[in-house]
Chains A and B, each alone.
Chain A
Amino acid sequence: MKTIEQIKNLRFIALLFMAVAVVSCSDDDEAPEEENLPEVFTNVTLIFTPTGGGTAITAEAEDPDGEGLDDLEVKDEINLAANTMYTLTFNVENRLDPDADLNAEILDEDNEHQIFFAFTNDAFTSPMGDGNLGAGNADDDINYSDMDEDGNPVGLVSSWTTGAAQTGASFQVNLQHQPGAKTADSDSTDGDTDFNLTFVLNIQ
C-alpha cells in the first residue's frame, strides 16, 4: 500500500514539473538580428545648386560613429559666389547602415519636420535678415520652396541669393522633428533636433 501511495506521489511530482519544464530548454547562442538604423545620422551634405546653371557647391558634416563619443566633424566650408541665386537641398545618410534611406524617411514625414536656418545678418539679399532660428522667429524671412500637406514649410528645398563678398560668416541649419507639434506657429524650439550644424560661409 505504501509503495502505491509513493508511486502516486511521484506521478504528481512528474506532472507538476512537466508543466514547468516545457519551455525551459531555450539555450541558444544566437546574436541579435541585423537592424535597419534609420534613426542614426552620420553624414549631412548641403548642396547649393546655382539656378543659373553651373557646378553644385557642397559642404559636408560627418559623425562617423553616430552616437559614439567621436565628435562631429564639419568637413567643408561653404564657398558661394557673390550676388548669385542658389537652390539648397540636402543629402542625409547613415553610413553605418547603407540600407537606411533617410532622405525618403524625412520626406515621408514632412508634416513632422522643418529645417530652420540662421546666418550672419544680411549675408543674403534674399532672404534678408539673419534667419528664422530661435523662439518666436519662425515667421522671419526664409524662401522655402516646399510645403507639407498642411501647407507648412519643410525646407528640404529652399532658395538663396547671396549678397556682397565676405569671408568667415556663419550658416546654421537645424532639422527639427516635431511629431504632433508642427503647426503654422511652431518654431525651432518645438520638438526634437535631428541635426543642428554650423558651417563657415564664405562669399567670394
Chain B
Amino acid sequence: MKLQNILFFVLMVWSPLSFAQQDPCTFTISGKVLNANTNEPIPFAVVKVEGAEKYATADEDGDFKIDGLCSKNNTLIISSLGYANSTIDYKEGSATQFYLQQDVTGLDEVTIEAERLKEVGTESISQVVLDQAEIKNIPTQSLGTALSTIQGVTFASVGNNVQLPVIHGLSGNRILVLNNGIKHGFQNWGEEHAPEIDITSASRITLIKGASGVRYGSEALGGAILVESTALDLNTPFYTNLGVSGESNGEGFNTNLKVGSGSENWSYYVNGSFTQIGDRTAPDYNLTNSGKEETALGAGLLHRRDKWKFSLRYSFLDQNLAILRTSFLTSPEAFIRSINADEPVIIEPLSREITEPNQATQHHLAKAEVEWQYAEDAKLTFIGGFQLNQREEFDVRRNADLPIVDLDLVTNDYQLEWKHPEWNGLKGLIGVQYFSQNNDNNPGTFNTPIVPNYNIERFSSFIVEKISKDRNTFEAGLRLDFESNDVRGLEPNNEVFRDQFDFVNVTASLGYVREFENGSFRSNIGSAWRTANPFELFSFGQNRWRLIFGLLRFQEVDGEPNTDNVERFDDSDVQPERGYKFINEFKINKNSNQHVVTVYSNYIENYIFDRPITVTTTVRGPSLAFIYDQADALFLGADYNWRNDWTKTISTDLGFSYLWSRNIGDDEALINQPPISTSLSVQWDQGEFLGLSSSILKLRSSYTFEQFQAPRTVPLESLVDGTADVTLDSEIFDVLDPPEGFFLLDLSWNFEWKNFSGGIAAQNLLNTSYRSYLNDLRYFADEPGRNIILSLNYQFQAKKNKN
C-alpha cells in the first residue's frame, strides 16, 4: 500500500469534493477519464494533483473538475479500480481526455476503495463511509463506537463491550447490519446484544441514514450498516498486513494479520485477529468485570471465468464479553442502594478474568456468490448465506456455571438479483429473496427460556429503478414481503405455549438527487415495517436487575398489568411497526468549506419500546417491572457538519446532531433517546514531516447535552413504599434522572513511515467522570476514564510483475 494513499484516504473521507484554496490559486482543470481499450468512460476514477494535496473523483460519466489550483501546469495522477495508475503532465490547453490502461498487474488496495457507486436504491439517501484507515487506528473498538463519530449516530450500550449503533434515535433490529451483503443473523433483541462483527477485518463500513428497507430488508426503519470485509481483488501481488496495538485502560491488546493475493483469475485472503482486554477503570474506581476476549477468523476465495465470478467467504467470531458485576442485582434493595451510592456497590481489584455476568457468543457466517455479467450493463447475482449464532449468557446466581440463556440461531439467506440492461433510460435492480431463521433453546439452563423457540420464514421480492436526466436523478423502489412466524415457548410452570402468525407487507421508497455546480441535494422518503421480535412479544421475568414482560405476556386487568396468561398474537392488539422516514441532505462545497446538512422526520406507527411500569413484590422483596408497549412516535432531527480547510495543512470539522422525539399518540416523552451532541475537531495534516511520509495530529472535543426530553422521574423508593401510585395508564417515567451533560477530549497522532503506519490515541484525555444516558449501566457506574492506545501496522506487498 502506498503511503500517500492513506493520507489521500483520510482526506477523501473528510472532504470528498472540496479542494479549493485561497487566491491566487484560481486555476481549474476539468476533463474526462476514459478506458484506453474501449474508449468507455471510467466512473469514479480518482484524480490527484501531485504536490498540491488536491484530489477529485470523477462522476458516473468519467467527468471531473479540480479548481483552486495555484499553477497552470500540473502533474496529474489518475487511478481507478482495475486500471493502471497514469501520471500525466497537464499544461493549460492540452487535451482534457485522459486514458487509463486496464491493469493486469496489481491494484492498490486503498485507492480502489476511494469512492464507489452507491448501492442501487440508496443513492438518494444520505450516507457516510468509514474506511480501513479510520478503523485501524483503534482496532479494539466495536462497530457501535467506530460509527459513533458520525453525526446523527451514537451507540446504546450495556457497559463497555455491548454497544449497538443508534441512527437518529433508532437501534437494535431497526438498524439492518449487512455483513458482506448478508443480513447479520443474531439475537438482536433488547439493548443487550451487539452485532458480532470483527471490525479489524472490515475494509469499509457504509452507514445509510435513511429507511433503506426496499433494498435490504423491510426492518431498516432507522437505516442500514453495510460491512464489507477484505476485498477479493484480481491481479493483486501477494500482500501481508500485520497489526498490533495496546491500550492502557484495561491493559488490552489486539493483534491482527491479513494475507492475500490475486492472479488473473483467482483471488484469496485469510485474516485473523485476537483481542484481550482486562477490567477497565473509571476515573475514580475499577469497573469490576468489564474485560473482553475476542477471536476472529476469515477467509475468502474468488474465481473468475470469462463473464462469471464465483466467490466464497467464511468468517468466524468468538466473543466473551464481561458485563459489569455491579449491574446484576436481583434485589431492588441492592438496586436502590446502588443508584444512591456514588460508587458501584461491588468494586474489586483489577483482573483479566471474565466471570459472571458475561456473554459468550460464537458466530459463523458462510456465503457463496455467483455473478454473471452477461452483458456490459447487465448481470445476474446469486447469493446464498448460512449463519450459525451460538449464544450463552451467564448470570450471577446459584447455578452460575450453567448458562441462563443458551441459544442456537440458524439463519439462511438466498438472494437472486438481476441488474437489468438500461431500458428507456431506466437502470435498475430486480430481486427475489428467501430468508429463514430458526431459534432453539438448549436445555439445562435451570431457567424459563427468556426467548421462545421460533421459526421465521420470509419470501420477498423487490424492484428499484432510477432514471437520470441532466443533473437530476429519480429513484423509486417497491418491495413485497410474506412472513410467517411459528413460536413455541415455555410458561414458568413448564407448560408449552404455541403461536403462529403471518404478515404480508408492502414497502416503498421514492428519492431524488440533484447535483449542483458545487454541491448536491438528496431527498428520500421511504417506508419500512417490522414485526415485534419474539423477545418483545414473549419475554417473562428476570432480566438482570429488572423483571421484563413482553407484549403478549401481560394483560390489563382492572387497570393493573396481569401476567397469568400468554395471549395469542391474532387475539391481541399488537401491530407491526410501520415507519415512514423522510430524509434530505444538502451538500455545499464553497471555496475551502464543505457544509453537509441532513434534515429528517421519521413517523413510526406502533413503535415498540420498554418502560418501567410498576413495583411488584416477590419473595425477594419488591421488584421493578418493565413492560413492552406500543405507541405512535415521531422523530424529527437534523445533523450538521462543517469542514473548513484553513490552510493546506490545518482543517477543522464542526458537527452538531439534534433529535426531537415524542410519543405523539399519548403526548408524552419517549425513554432512552439520544441527547443533543456537538463536536469540534482540529486536524493538522503535515504530510511529509521529520522523515515520516505522513503525520496527522487530530484533537477532537465533544459535548453531549443532558437529555432534556427524558420522561419524569419517579424515585424507586416511592414506588416501593407506595407513595407513588402508578398504573398502566400513568405517564411514562424513569427511576433516575438523566445524567448531566459531559465534555470529552480525544487526541490522536498517526504517522506513516516506509512500510509502517501507526499512531498514538488518547481517549477521554482529561479523565472526565461521566455517565451516558444511553448506557444501561448509567444507574450503576461511570464510563471508563482515560485510555492511551498505541498501534503499529506493517504492510508488505510483493513487487508488481510489470511497471
Question: Which B residues touch A37, using CB under 8 A?
Answer: 446-448, 492, 494
Q: Indicate if the CB atoms of A65 and B368 lie closer than 8 Å.
A: no
Q: Indicate if the CB atoms of B564 and A26 lie closer than 8 Å.
A: no
Q: Is B529 an interface residue (CB 8 A)?
A: no
Q: Indicate if the CB atoms of B398 and A39 lie closer than 8 Å.
A: yes
Q: Indicate if the CB atoms of B492 and A29 lie closer than 8 Å.
A: no
Q: Which of A120-128, A146-154, A187-195 contacts B (4 or more CB under 8 A)?
A: A187-195
Question: Which A residues touch B436, using CB under 8 A?
Answer: 24, 27
Name the one of A8, A20, A39, A105 contacting B305, with C-beta atoms under 8 angstroms. A8
Q: Is B496 an interface residue (CB 8 A)?
A: yes
Q: Indicate if the CB atoms of B494 and A34 lie closer than 8 Å.
A: yes
Q: Which of B215-223, B508-516, B615-623, B792-800 contacts A (4 or more CB under 8 A)?
A: B615-623
Q: Indicate if the CB atoms of A67 and B547 lie closer than 8 Å.
A: yes
Q: Indicate if the CB atoms of A32 and B625 lie closer than 8 Å.
A: no
Q: Indicate if the CB atoms of A68 and B489 lie closer than 8 Å.
A: no
Q: Indicate if the CB atoms of A109 and B386 lie closer than 8 Å.
A: no
B305, B443, B621: which has the most chain A beta carbons within 10 Å?
Answer: B621
Question: Which B residues touch A68, using CB under 8 A?
Answer: 492, 540-541, 563-564
Q: Is B474 an interface residue (CB 8 A)?
A: no
Chain B residue nearest to A100 (CB atoms) is B446
Q: How far, in angstroms, from A9 to B372 measured CA to CA in the complex?
A: 10
Chain A residue nearest to B625 (CB atoms) is A69
Q: Indicate if the CB atoms of B492 and A192 lie closer than 8 Å.
A: no
Q: How far, in angstroms, from A147 to B793 measured CA to CA in the complex?
A: 58
Q: Indicate if the CB atoms of B447 and A193 lie closer than 8 Å.
A: no
Contact size range, B: 35 or more
Q: Indicate if the CB atoms of A38 and B453 lie closer than 8 Å.
A: no
Q: Which of A10-18, A79-87, A137-145, A156-164 contacts B (4 or more CB under 8 A)?
A: A10-18
Name the one of B346, B412, B614 contacting A69, with C-beta atoms under 8 angstroms. B614
Q: Indicate if the CB atoms of A38 and B305 lie closer than 8 Å.
A: no
The contact string, 1 if C-beta is below 8 Å from chain A, for chain B 173-212, is 0000000000000000000000000000000000000000
Q: Is B591 an interface residue (CB 8 A)?
A: no
Question: Which B residues touch A66, using CB under 8 A?
Answer: 492, 541, 618
Q: Indicate if the CB atoms of B410 and A30 lie closer than 8 Å.
A: no
Interface residue ranges of A3-56 to B (CB < 8 Å): 5, 8-9, 12-13, 16-17, 19-21, 23-24, 26-42, 44
Chain B's nearest CB lies how many Å from the CB of A73? 9
Q: Indicate if the CB atoms of B564 and A196 lie closer than 8 Å.
A: no
Q: Indicate if the CB atoms of B489 and A32 lie closer than 8 Å.
A: yes
Question: Which A residues touch B453, using CB under 8 A?
Answer: 30-32
Interface residue ranges of B317-349 to A (CB < 8 Å): 329-331, 333-334, 337, 345-346
Q: How far, in angstroms, from A76 to B379 measured CA to CA in the complex?
A: 77
Chain B residue nearest to A74 (CB atoms) is B617
Q: Indicate if the CB atoms of A31 and B498 lie closer than 8 Å.
A: yes
Q: How far, in angstroms, from A66 to B398 measured CA to CA in the complex?
A: 16
Q: Is B562 an interface residue (CB 8 A)?
A: yes
Q: Is B441 an interface residue (CB 8 A)?
A: yes
Q: Indicate if the CB atoms of A35 and B448 lie closer than 8 Å.
A: yes
Contact size range, A: 35 or more
Question: Which B residues touch A189, using CB under 8 A?
Answer: 333-334, 337, 345
Q: Is B367 an interface residue (CB 8 A)?
A: yes
Q: Is B445 an interface residue (CB 8 A)?
A: yes
Q: How far, in angstroms, from A69 to B616 measured CA to CA in the complex?
A: 6
Q: How far, in angstroms, from A41 to B308 measured CA to CA in the complex?
A: 63
Chain B residue nearest to A27 (CB atoms) is B455
Q: Is B128 an interface residue (CB 8 A)?
A: no
Q: Is A136 an interface residue (CB 8 A)?
A: no
Name the one of B400, B494, B625 contacting A97, with C-beta atoms under 8 angstroms. B494
Q: Is A88 an interface residue (CB 8 A)?
A: no
Q: Indicate if the CB atoms of B490 and A31 lie closer than 8 Å.
A: yes
Name the one of A26, A32, A196 contacting B619, with C-beta atoms under 8 angstroms. A196
Q: Indicate if the CB atoms of A30 and B488 lie closer than 8 Å.
A: yes
- With A31-B498, A65-B492 in contact, do A193 and B621 touch (Cβ < 8 Å)? yes
Q: How far, in angstroms, from A69 to B556 measured CA to CA in the complex?
A: 11
Q: Is B116 an interface residue (CB 8 A)?
A: no
The contact string, 1 if C-beta is below 8 Å from chain A, for chain B 356-372, is 00000000001110100
Question: Which A residues touch B614, using CB under 8 A?
Answer: 69
Q: Is B737 an interface residue (CB 8 A)?
A: no
Q: How far, in angstroms, from A163 to B590 measured CA to CA in the complex?
A: 90
A sample of 13 cross-chain residue pairs with beta-carbon separation below 8 angstroms, ordered by A number, consists of A5-B305, A13-B310, A16-B368, A20-B367, A24-B410, A35-B449, A36-B446, A61-B619, A68-B541, A69-B560, A179-B396, A193-B331, A196-B620
A interface residues, Cβ below 8 angstroms from B = 5, 8-9, 12-13, 16-17, 19-21, 23-24, 26-42, 44, 61, 63, 65-72, 96-97, 105, 109, 112, 177, 179, 181, 189, 192-197
Q: A32-B441, A70-B562 are in contact. List 20 more A-B contacts (CB 8 A).
A: A28-B455, A30-B453, A31-B453, A31-B490, A32-B449, A32-B488, A32-B489, A32-B490, A35-B447, A37-B446, A38-B399, A39-B542, A61-B619, A67-B542, A69-B616, A96-B492, A193-B331, A194-B619, A195-B619, A195-B621
B interface residues, Cβ below 8 angstroms from A = 303, 305-306, 308, 310, 312, 329-331, 333-334, 337, 345-346, 366-368, 370, 382, 384-386, 388, 396-400, 410, 412, 436, 438, 440-441, 443-449, 452-453, 455, 486, 488-490, 492-494, 496, 498, 540-542, 547, 549, 554, 560-564, 614, 616-621, 623, 625
